[in-house]
Amino acid sequence: MSFWTTELKNEPKRNYRFKVQFTGLNTNLNNESSGGDIVWWAKKVTKPAFTVGETTHKLLNHTFHFPSTVTWEPVTLTMVDPINPSTTNLMLNLLQAAGYKLPNQAIDTGTVNKSLMGTSLGTVSIVHLDAEGGALETWTLKNVFIKSVKFSDLDYDSEDLSTCDLELRYDWAELSAKAGNRNADSNDPEGVIGDWKWTSTSAPTGE
């Protein structure tokens, strides 16, 4: 049985086919233009990942392990820093929109908070694409906020492009995935686009 074939929908996914989208992008670029909500200057991004904690119980010389809480790991996005739109300006605008004020600005009792941060970022999505530009996987980060920003160092000995590393923290991620396998007697993909999110009627019962 063949699997890596010339069939378009049977080929492996490729790491360089992706796009990152922030729906709050243009709102926080002031007079600069991004050309839409796609971060076209994105260079590299990690996919959402999770860790399942564990609790142990000891009985005599035996140790038993039990799964506990699930923690979603931060996503890191590396972006090139263009002149226009400036990634540096965008990061500072996002921070200000989230409630941050400089000490020498007018006294304001407001502080950075999760709600304003989420509003300024908008919906953050990581889309893994197929050869035709269609979405194979769409990861949507829920309750996302900026955890850290690091700009690249300046160096006379380097000719690299200036970059910015953005670390995003979120509560969980939802996946919308497209079945990519074709039936033997049809050109239609097997299955439909599926949403990886449980509802009250479809959650596992554990039975």
Segment 161-194, tens digit of pLDDT = 999 999 999 999 998 887 544 433 434 444 444 5
Report how far residue 200's alpha carbon sits from residue 72's, in angstroms, rounded to the nearest whole number: 22
- Rounded to an integer, what distance in angstroms lies between the CA atom of residue 171 and that of residue 156? 40
| Amino acid letter for position 206 | G
Class of domain 8-196: mainly beta
- Report if pTM > 0.85: no
What does the domain layout of the chain look like in residue ranges? 8-196
Quick one: CA dihedral 34, 40, 44, 50, positive or negative? positive
pLDDT in tens, 86-99: 888 888 888 888 88
**What φ, ψ does residue 117 adopt, rounded to 5°?**
-65, -45
Q: Give the residue among 154, 151, 46 at the shortest CA–CA distance from 90.
A: 151
What tokens were used for 201?
Answer: 């009627």
Higher pLDDT, 25 or 174: 174
The span from the CA of 55 to the CA of 133, in Å, is: 43
Residue from 129, 131, 127 nearest 139 by CA:
127
